[in-house]
């Protein structure tokens, strides 16, 4: 199969996955972002890369946002929000982070394929992304698509995150060209 045909099929699968996400779960994240004093994001591997993209866009909109594990990231406090992305919901470093955040009392919202995963159970809110991870056996809940590994999940997280930004920017009446004024200028 040609690469562009794979890309087209992946885009179709991605569209179907995004369309079947529960809007109420997304709304809960939007409300939590608006209510939080500060926002922290955490993930592992490619899931983390996607949330770093969200962190940058939230910074563009004026939110105080940190990536867990960076040397300049401060202490998490009860009025803060922790956003996690984990296809499996079983990545041990994230379970550790979620346990600590939960003990502190802050809000945790997780994006995952598995709403009954350890991470989901530690979270105040869950966005179930109907995608696939090779870390767990294929099943009705974990349906293998054309892309390898957790790629479909990760790409859904990225597109969902960018779409949240459109919604938040519109609500705050921030034209996206003005939001980019905050973008790093030492690059
Ligand atoms: O890097 C990843 C990729 O899917 C490997 O194919 C994962 O994002 C990383 O391993 C973390 O896993 P999850 O916490 O299950 O997303």
Angle of the 23-35 helix axis to the 151-171 helix axis, nearest 10: 60
Dist. CA 94 → ligand 1 center (Å): 11
Ligand 1 pocket test target in 93, 131, 135 with most atoms within 8 Å of CB: 135
185 inside domain = no
- Selected residue with higher pLDDT from 179 and 181: 181
**Contact 87 CB / ligand 1 (< 6 Å):** yes
Q: How far apart are CA 95 and CA 123, in angstroms?
A: 10
The overall average pLDDT reported for the chain is 96
Q: What is the pLDDT, as a whole number, of residue 1?
A: 87
Distance of CA 175 from the midpoint of ligand 1 (Å): 33
Percent of the chain with pLDDT over 90: 93
* Across 93-121, average pLDDT: 98
Does residue 171 have an active-site annotation?
Answer: no
- What's residue 8's pLDDT? 97
Mean pLDDT of 113-132: 97
Query: Is 186 part of any domain?
Result: no
Supply the range of the domain harboring residue 155.
Answer: 3-179
Judge whether residue 176 has pLDDT over 80: no
pTM > 0.90: yes or no: yes
Residue 126 lies in a domain: yes
Q: Which domain CATH number covers 62? A: 3.40.50.10490
Q: Which of 103, 104, 121 is nearest to 112 (CA)?
A: 121
Of 101 and 180, the one with more pLDDT: 101
Q: Read off the pLDDT of each residue in 135-160 and give the average, rounded to a whole number.
A: 95
Among 29-38, 138-147, 177-186, which stretch is predicted with the lowest mean pLDDT?
177-186
Q: 100 pLDDT exceeds 90?
A: yes
Which residue lies with its CA nearest to atom 1 of ligand 1?
45
**How many domains does one find in the chain?**
1
Q: What was the pLDDT predicted at 166?
A: 93
Nearest C-alpha to atom 6 of ligand 1 is from which residue? 149
pLDDT of 153: 98
Compute the half-sphere exposure of residue 152: CA atoms within 13 Å on the CB side of its CA: 28
Residue of 64, 70, 154, 187 with catalytic role? 154
184 within a domain of the structure (yes/no): no
Predicted confidence (pLDDT) at residue 23 exceeds the cutoff of 90: yes
Q: Is the CB of 149 under 6 A from ligand 1?
A: yes
pLDDT score of 59: 96
Whether residue 174 lies inside any domain: the answer is yes
Residue 89 lies in a domain: yes
Q: Of 84, 91, 156, which is best to mutate to test ligand 1, by the most ligand atoms within 8 angstroms of its C-beta?
A: 91
| pLDDT tens, position by position, 38-86 | 999 999 999 999 999 999 999 999 999 999 999 999 999 999 999 999 9
Alpha-carbon distance of 42 to 50, in angstroms, equals: 10
Q: Is 127 within the bounds of a domain? A: yes
Give me ligand 1 centre to Cα 9, in Å.
21
The CB of 91 under 6 Å from ligand 1? The reply is yes
């Amino acid at each position: 199969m040609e690469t562009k045909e794979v890309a087209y099929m992946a885009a179709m699968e991605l569209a179907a996955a995004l369309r079947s996400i529960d809007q109420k779960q997304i709304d809960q994240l939007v409300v939590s972002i608006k209510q939080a004093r500060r926002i922290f994001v955490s993930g592992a591997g490619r899931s983390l890369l996607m949330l770093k993209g969200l962190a940058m866009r939230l910074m563009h909109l004026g939110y105080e946002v940190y990536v867990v594990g960076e040397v300049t990231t401060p202490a998490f406090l009860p009025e803060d929000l922790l956003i996690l992305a984990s296809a499996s919901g079983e990545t041990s470093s994230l379970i550790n982070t979620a346990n600590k955040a939960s003990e502190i009392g802050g809000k945790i919202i997780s994006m995952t394929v598995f709403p009954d995963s350890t991470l989901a159970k530690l979270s105040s809110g869950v966005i179930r992304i109907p995608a696939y991870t090779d870390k767990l056996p294929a099943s009705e809940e974990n349906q293998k698509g054309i892309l390898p590994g957790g790629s479909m999940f990760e790409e859904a997280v990225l597109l969902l995150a960018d779409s949240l930004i459109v919604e938040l920017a519109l609500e705050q009446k921030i034209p996206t060209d003005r939001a980019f004024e905050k973008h790093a200028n030492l690059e």
